[in-house]
A and B are shown apart, each in its own frame.
Chain A
Amino acid sequence: MKRVNVLGAALSFAALVVAPALAATQLTGAGSSFVNPFFSKAFYEYSAAHTDVTVNYQPIGSGGGIQQFTQRTVDFGASDVPMNADEIKRLPASAVQVPIALGGVAVTYNLPSFIKGGLKLTRETLADIYLGKIAKWNDPRLTKINPGAELPDAPIIVVHRSDGSGTTYIFTDFLSHVSGEWKSKVGTGKSVEWPAPSAVGGKGNDGVAGAVRQTSGSIGYVELAYVHENKMTQAQLQNAAGRFGFCTGGGVAAAAATKLNLTPTDFSIVDTKGETAWPIAGYTWVFMYREYQKPEEKSRAKMVRDVLEWTATSGQRIAGTLDYVPLPESVQEIAKKSFSEIKV
């Protein structure tokens, strides 16, 4: 009797757990880890409203996302940098790349004495610091733009991400835009050969943040959301319009708004001309194939498209609550148009 009861309870419990899972189609995506907190929340909310769909997103890194998408082992891929010509050539079929999230990269530092209003940097000085050409904090070029600030006679420790990351891509893209020497000597990439003799690599945002927080005289770059969550000291950076400012959601949105003709091959929004634009920003992209043949593939692809389109439009209000920057209207329109090209 007792056994029957236990069995009955187990069965009904199993039914409770399994039933929704059976009813819902599980879609899978893989790629960018930067976008993961946003995706988790957005997909969770989407599933709450659409009980027939759940999304399993694996934040294995953009490279892995592209690879899995190419092998068709996931329904969609996500990357902090759109696929380049080489990567597109390797795809089994034509794909659509759509901007889905927007983020900024902030400059953080650690100096023994507090600087009122924050350390000020021009684009050129930041590039020269990362090149190792400005090696000390009391370099005349820094004291000139920071009058009154107490800058020590100490080496500048340059902290960077050691893991391949979209954040590094955006940051080095910015440095390549503002410094010819950086462009020719180092270039743009998710991992680069850092030229400064005092460079140290930290793994992930937390690695960079940890190194900067512990090392007096250091400077580093981290995602905007990370700076906010951890209340880190930000540097002011001069933009192309000549204005100094901190990295803020508004500044990143302003940078994004200057580029209305965003495409997967012309996607850089660093060093834009906007009056209030923050110069180090970039998009995360998702990919789907353009055509699906079999009926079951089509119905699945339609679900994927609907989730992603919702994420790129209505879902953007969630981005704001998580310290991502919501896509500007114009970019949401670009996203919608790209999704409409998918034949399902």
Chain B
Amino acid sequence: MQSESHEQLHLRRSRISDRWFMAGVYGATGLFVAIVAGLFVELYAGSSSSIRAFGFNFLTSSHWNPVTNQFGALPMIYGTVVSSLIAIVLAGFVGVFGAAYLVEFAPRAVARPLAFLIELLAAVPSVIFGLWGLFILAPVLRANVEPFLQAKFGFLPIFQGFIFGSSLFTAGIVLAIMIVPTVSAITRDVIAAVAREHREASMALGATRWETMARVILPGATTGIFGACVLALGRALGETIATTMVIGNKPAIAASLFQPAYTLASVIANEFTEATSDLYVSALIELGLLLFVVSLAVNGIARVLTWTVLRPAKAR
């Protein structure tokens, strides 16, 4: 009798704690959704007068003229997407292979401090990356790297034209360095999480470590790695101050990566404090809305890619 009531008590208690737990989970999730929805509504409301004035033209026009109150965001959308793509290609490559080395090949004495150093990069404030990019990286790129690329691969339009220090290319590299820790840290975890049995089975079949890495571990970790890249891409898309300092802030679309460009976040950072006319402020807020939409779209495309490209590959 006594033991039964004890059990009932226990059950009742766990039901109460269950309820609290569920409330917490729903509450936190609801808050997430509310914040995102609120952000969208607020941005949409703030940009309404710009949307009314320019409509769809805002997305297709290349003119950004605060003097005549003519605003178009196409070059900024282009600059945001391309600089982030450069960053994710470079950071994805370095981050994934670096993480694979650290987990599978590096001796412990090397792996620990190296991993720590890479993750330390994540703690550096972006303004430091910006200053470093402007005063140290950009001159090196301008004097050495970009002329070299132009000499070897100058037939490609992306490496043609006059070489400025501040460019889409410079911004892409600075962003890549900034997001490498994200890619590398998560990739290390997902690689380490691949079941031990899989590795051992592969090794037992006579596969080399390299073959095990390429055929077993990386495919097993693909979804996680993709998640890491999407997260990193999000940071690159929204990065403001470092990009602003090195991208050249020119609202124009050029084929060459060596030309200055502009990003959505940079325009806001540059012009919001001094914008006084209503339409101007509204246009800047609409850039924020676009950044929101572009981030969503890029995330969506990344998801679709994981489903369509990677699933069949795994099934083969």
Contacts and interface: CB of A to CB of B under 8 A. Distances in A.
B142 A215 contact: yes
Interface string B192-224: 000000000000000000000000000000000
Residue among A87, A164, A194 having the largest count of chain B Cβ atoms under 10 Å? A164
Nearest to B138: A214
Given A61-B274, A202-B166, A192 B249 contact: no
Contact of A201 (B63, B68, B135, B260): B260
A186 B67 contact: yes
Contact of B66 (A60, A157, A192): A192
Nearest to B64: A193
B270 A200 contact: no
A211 B166 CA distance: 8
Residue among B135, B248, B270, B276 having the largest count of chain A Cβ atoms under 10 Å? B276
A214 B142 contact: yes
Contacts of B68: 187
A163 B245 contact: no
Contacts of B129: none
B249 A203 contact: yes
B273 interface: yes
Interface in A64-81: 64, 66-67
A62 interface: yes
A152 interface: no
Contacts of A155: 162
Task: Give the size range of A's interface with the partner.
Answer: 35 or more
10 contacts: A63-B272, A163-B270, A191-B270, A199-B250, A202-B166, A202-B249, A203-B245, A207-B134, A210-B135, A211-B134
Please give me the 6 A-B residue pairs with the lowest Cβ-Cβ distance, nearest first: A164-B274, A61-B273, A201-B249, A162-B249, A193-B65, A187-B67
A338 interface: no
A203 B244 contact: yes
Contacts of A188: 67
Interface of A: 60-64, 66-67, 86-87, 155, 157, 162-165, 186-194, 198-203, 207, 210-211, 214-215
B7 interface: no
Interface of B: 63-68, 134-135, 138-139, 142, 162, 164-166, 244-245, 248-251, 260, 262, 266, 269-277
Contacts of B277: 86
Given A162-B244, A193-B64, A67 B164 contact: no
B276 A87 contact: yes
Residue among B134, B166, B275 having the largest count of chain A Cβ atoms under 10 Å? B166
B270 A162 contact: yes
Nearest to B62: A193
Given A164-B270, A199-B260, 16 more contacts: A86-B276, A87-B276, A155-B162, A163-B274, A164-B274, A164-B275, A187-B68, A190-B66, A190-B274, A191-B274, A192-B65, A193-B251, A202-B249, A211-B165, A214-B139, A215-B164
Contacts of A62: 273-274
Contacts of A215: 142, 164-165
A191 B66 contact: yes
Nearest to B281: A63
B275 A63 contact: yes
A234 B25 CA distance: 63
Nearest to A217: B162
A69 to B, nearest CB: 12
B276 A63 contact: yes
Contacts of A187: 67-68
Contacts of A210: 134-135
A215 B272 CA distance: 28
Nearest to A31: B273
Contacts of A193: 63-67, 251
Nearest to B245: A203
Contacts of B67: 186-189, 192-193
A200 B166 CA distance: 8
A186 B162 CA distance: 24
Contacts of A87: 276
Given A187-B68, A193-B67, A215-B142, A203 B270 contact: yes
B245 A200 contact: no
Contacts of B266: 162
A190 to B, nearest CB: 5
A60 to B, nearest CB: 6
B135 A164 contact: no
A198 B164 CA distance: 9
B275 A157 contact: no
Contacts of B276: 63, 66-67, 86-87
Given A66-B276, A164-B274, A201 B250 contact: yes
Nearest to A190: B274
B248 A60 contact: no
Contacts of B274: 61-64, 163-165, 190-191
A200 B260 contact: yes
Contact of A64 (B135, B244, B273): B273
B269 to A, nearest CB: 8
B273 A157 contact: no
Contacts of A203: 244-245, 249, 269-270
A188 to B, nearest CB: 7
Contacts of B244: 162, 203
Given A157-B164, A199-B250, A200-B249, A63 B63 contact: no
A210 B248 CA distance: 12
A211 B167 CA distance: 11
Contacts of B262: 201
Contacts of A64: 273-274
Contacts of A163: 269-271, 273-274
